[in-house]
Amino acid sequence: MDVIFVLLMKKRIVRYGTLFCLLFALFNTSALAAPNGEFLSFDATSLSKSDGSYWVWGEGLSVPIQIYGLSDVEKSFESHLVMKKDQTVWFWERIAPSGEIKVHHVPALNNLIDVQYKMGDLLALDQEGMVYLLSAQGLLSSDRLKQIAPLSGIDNVVDIGAYWDYGHQYSVEKWAFLKKDGTVWVNRGNFPSEAFAPIPVLNDVIEIEENIALKQDGTVWYWPNQTYNALSDSVTAAPITELTNIKKIKSYGKSQVAIDQNASLWFWGVTYTGASDGTIRHNQIVTVKLNSIKDVEDAFVVERSLVVLTNDGNVWEASIDREAMPVNPVFDHITSGVQEIKLGARHIMMKKNDGSLWGWGVNKNGQLGSGDFEFIHLTPQRVQRPVAVYLNDEPVVMNSGVIIRNDQAFIPLRSIFEKMGAVIKWDASNKTVTISQKEPEKEPVIININYSSGKVDLNNKPVSLSNQPFILVSTAYLPLRFISESLGGKVDWIQDEGEILIKMQ
């Protein structure tokens, strides 16, 4: 089902967001909480802990898992590229079908400030102002990254923007480059073979977003992305006269926002009506000041929502599912106590004052890291705290993370128990598993679990568990403590450190 239809159907739910968020906070388990300062940095689907470990979720991972082989990550970029504290750049990838994760050094890149992967091209910008290009045309791989090379014809760059230029016969991809001297340059024709040229009248620019620019004097300028002229014609820019004294601009496709020095919010560009194949895009050319929201720190367009963070740490949402944005749209409260927001492709990630991370939006691939694959969440969901598992002091590498339910840890079926000397037999048709262990001078252990009925037997005797084993998509999960202790292990759950220690006796 198209996400737009789902959003329209669920839109009413968000009106009760404040009450629901309060109830959710009251009943949320302490095992999910994170001590303030545990996370050094975070992004839409990743985080770095103070111990140097790096964790990711999404893309089929419902909770964070650790990327072993990566440590001291300072910043993450899109397309699985990260930069360590020593300014080296690394790439991690999951190998199908096993799900094994491999890490590769990218020696051509160092000291990055931005990576953008759009229209089949990956551009990486470093602190020296050099731009590197890789025409990947698909999923990145370690072999393809070996082909990345400096982009000729452009240097001294501090910011990058990308957009489509629609000509009268065909469209071409355009990249815009903000240089250190405040000028903006674009490719004149097909990228990257055609020469780059500056846009006249664009000087003293401090920020670019797609095809709009913010000047040092607080004015906002745009250059058309629908020229209808020969591609060789010079690109010209014009001011958006309604916008003055602006300190921040954002562009999300064809929907734009700006924040002025008085912390007021402005909107222009595309709003939507209809769903699926009947979607209609309405272009609001005149910039509108939104008088129903004040004290704005940041703003984002997520699907058909305008999400706003105010300076007091509150997060608000207004719909852009309308023919035009009114002067006084209704903003509904999402949550409070938020320090910072990061934008994903179809969701946002929020860091709260207590150090916890919360997600909001589309979640069909586990983007919110909350332990489920519900298509969309219109109330904030807490990202489950990263949990590391050690067996006899050795880290256990897993393809799916530990899921905490009601303060109980559940672990993927084939993640650790075979390392404890158990034999696992899975019956997919009946959704049953048998875990057996036979060791010299020990009583044999046989555990039978029926995922359909929830029945659990230990050595042919029924066992009552407070939380039943479950299957999430295609991964079967087992209660870690019960299975581990039944197999002769001693389990310590150190919540303050986010660690589970198992010792075989």
Three-state DSSP at 3 gives: helix
Strand 388-391 vs strand 499-504: parallel, antiparallel, or unpaired? parallel
Write out the residue range of the structural domain in which residue 116 sits.
3-140+161-175+249-382
Predicted pLDDT at 254: 87
**What is the predicted pLDDT for the residue at 12?**
38
Q: What is the pLDDT of residues 412-435, one digit of tens each?
A: 988 888 898 899 999 999 999 999
Average pLDDT value for the chain: 88
Tokens encoding 288? 């509108």
Q: What is the pLDDT of residue 74?
A: 92
DSSP state of 173: E
Same domain, yes or no, for 333 and 415? Answer: no
Q: Does 46 share its domain with 88?
A: yes
Position 20 scores a pLDDT of 35
Please report the pLDDT score of residue 226 as a whole number. 54
- The pLDDT confidence band at residue 174, using thresholds 50, 70 and 90, is confident
Question: Residue 322 pLDDT more than 70?
Answer: yes
pLDDT reading at 361 higher than 60? yes
Q: Are residue 310 and residue 396 in the same domain, yes or no?
A: no
Domain boundary among 352, 382, 412: 382
Instruction: Pull the structure tokens for residue 362.
Output: 């589309």
Same-domain pairing of 408 and 378: no
Domain boundary among 316, 351, 382: 382
Indicate the residue among 382, 404, 422 that finishes a domain. Answer: 382
Region 238-247 average pLDDT: 96
Q: Tokens for 480, please give them.
A: 């870690």
Sign of CA dihedral 126, 132, 138, 142: negative
**Residue that wins the pLDDT comparison between 31 and 305:** 305
Out of 32-36, 189-193, 243-247, 443-447, least confident range: 32-36
pLDDT > 70? residue 6: no
Closest CA to 68 of 101, 91, 37: 101
Minimum mean pLDDT among 98-102, 130-134, 336-340: which range? 98-102
Q: What is the per-residue pLDDT across 29-61, written as a single tens digit (0 to 9) for each?
A: 445 556 555 778 899 999 999 889 999 999 999
280 and 258, same domain (yes or no) = yes
Task: Say if 428 falls within a structural domain.
Answer: yes
Same-domain check for residues 357 and 410: no
CA 496/CA 494 separation, integer angstroms: 6
Share of the chain above pLDDT 70, in %: 89
Comparing 362 with 226, which gets the higher pLDDT? 362
Q: Do 394 and 284 share a structural domain?
A: no
Residue 308: name the closest of 321, 320, 293 by CA: 293
Q: Could you tell me if 371 and 417 lie in one domain? A: no
- d(C-alpha 81, C-alpha 494), whole Å: 31
Q: What is the dihedral of CA 332, 336, 340, 342, to 10 degrees?
A: -40
Q: For residues 133 and 144, is the Cβ–Cβ distance under 8 A?
A: no
The CATH number given to whatever domain includes residue 432 is 3.30.457.10
CB atoms under 10 Å from CB of 344, counted, come to 20
Residue 402 lies in a domain: yes
Question: Which has more pLDDT, 353 or 25?
Answer: 353
Calculate mean pLDDT across residues 449-471: 92
Tell me how far apart the alpha carbons of residues 149 and 145 are, in angstroms, rounded to a whole number.
9
On whether residue 330 sits in a domain, the answer given is: yes
Q: Is 151 helix (H, G, I), strand (E, B) or coil?
A: coil
pLDDT tens-digit map of 55-93: 999 999 999 999 999 999 999 998 999 999 999 999 999
Q: What average pLDDT score do residues 450-468 get? A: 92
If one compares 7 and 122, the residue with the highest pLDDT of the two is 122
What is the average per-residue pLDDT within 289-315? Answer: 97
Cα distance between the two ends of the chain: 51
- Does one domain contain both 366 and 406? no
Output the pLDDT for position 4. Answer: 41
297 and 416 in a single domain? The answer is: no
Closest CA to 248 of 235, 237, 261, 238: 261
Is 295 a residue whose pLDDT tops 90? Answer: yes
| Band (2; pLDDT cuts 50, 70, 90) | very low
Q: Strands of 157-166's sheet, edge to edge?
A: 157-166, 171-179, 184-187, 196-198
* Pairwise CA distance, residues 208 & 221, whole Å: 9
Determine how β-strand 184-187 pairs with β-strand 445-450: unpaired
- Compute the Cα dihedral for 463, 467, 471, 477 and give only its sign: negative
Check whether 24 has a pLDDT greater than 50. no
Residue 226 lies in a domain: no
Indicate whether 170 pLDDT > 60: no
Residue percentage of the chain with pLDDT more than 90: 70
Count of the separate structural domains present in the chain? 2
Q: What is the 3-state secondary structure of 251-307?
A: EECCEEEEEECCCCEEEEEEEEECCHHHCEEEEEEEEEEECCCCCEEEEEEECCEEE
Q: What are the Cα distances from residue 36, in Å, to 10, 14, 40, 134? A: 33, 28, 10, 39
According to the model, what pLDDT value does residue 22 have? 33
Angle at 358 between CA 306 and CA 162, to 5 degrees: 45
DSSP string, 158-169: EEEEEEEEE-SS
Q: Record the tokens describing residue 93, joined without a space.
A: 């990838």
Rounded mean pLDDT of 98-118? 92
Same domain for 370 and 458? no
Tens of pLDDT, residues 251-267: 998 899 999 999 999 99
User: Could you check whether the bond before residue 192 is cis, i.e. omega within 30 degrees of 0?
Assistant: yes
The answer to whether residue 39 is domain-embedded is yes
Residue pLDDT, tens place only, 365-400? 999 999 999 999 999 999 999 999 999 999 999 889
CA–CA separation, 443 vs 134, rounded Å? Answer: 59
In a domain? residue 316: yes
Please give the pLDDT value at position 233: 56
Q: Which among 400, 402, 396 has a CA at the least distance from the CA of 480?
A: 402
User: Is pLDDT at 5 greater than 50 in this prediction?
Assistant: no
Q: CA-CA distance, 174 to 171, in Å (whole number)?
A: 9
Q: Please report which confidence band the pLDDT of residue 225 belongs to, taking 50, 70 and 90 as the band edges.
A: low
Nearest-angstrom CA–CA distance, 181 and 164: 25
CA dist., res. 385 & res. 34, Å (int): 6
- Give me the pLDDT at residue 27, please: 35
Q: Domain check: are 450 and 322 in the same one?
A: no
- Residue labelled with tokens 């991972």: 61
Alpha carbon distance 246, 111 (integer Å): 30
By the 8 A CB rule, do 431 and 450 touch? yes
Any domain includes 401: yes
Asked if the structure places residue 148 within a domain, the reply is no
